[in-house]
Amino acid sequence: SSELTQDPAVSVALGQTVRITCQGDSLRSYYASWYQQKPGQAPVLVVYGKNNRPSGIPDRFSGSSSGNTASLTITGAQAEDEADYHCNSRDSSGHQLEVFGGGTKVTVL
């Protein structure tokens, strides 16, 4: 099976840029998808595929990938971006399995 590793927490000053990373072998073969989760709420998809955003997601959210690392970048972080962010990818074992990272808590200062 595959594992995805995320930093537990990061902080960013209001209006600045923050990059959230997700590491795992499966990311060499598959794109990550990213989810924002606010306290007491269900996760919401913010980025998927190479760098796609669902309708309604601000363009300050962007995704990228290099080697075994996928990144979610928030450019010009807003107070409402304070949340947990989870990455997800297909397992690299060849079986159709999905895995999630442990999540990153983003604090906007």
Partner 1 sequence: QLQLQESGSGLVKPSQTLSLTCAVSGGSISSGGYSWSWIRQPPGKGLEWIGYIYHSGSTYYNPSLESRVTISMDRSNNQFSLKLSSVTAADTAVYYCARATTVVTGCWFDPWGQGILVTVSS
Residue 100 CB-half CA count within 13 A = 10
Distance of CA 82 to the CA centre of its chain: 13
CB of 29 to partner 1, least distance (A): 8
Name residues contacting partner 1, limited to 42-61 (CB under 8 A): 42-45, 48-50, 54
Based on the shown chain and the rule CB under 8 A, indicate whether residue 39 belongs to the binding site for partner 1.
no
Based on the shown chain and the rule CB under 8 A, indicate whether residue 103 belongs to the binding site for partner 1.
yes
CA distances from 28 to 65, 92, 97, 98 (A): 9, 9, 16, 15
| Chain contacts with partner 1 (rule: CB under 8 A) | 1, 30-33, 35, 41-45, 48-50, 54, 86, 88-90, 95-103
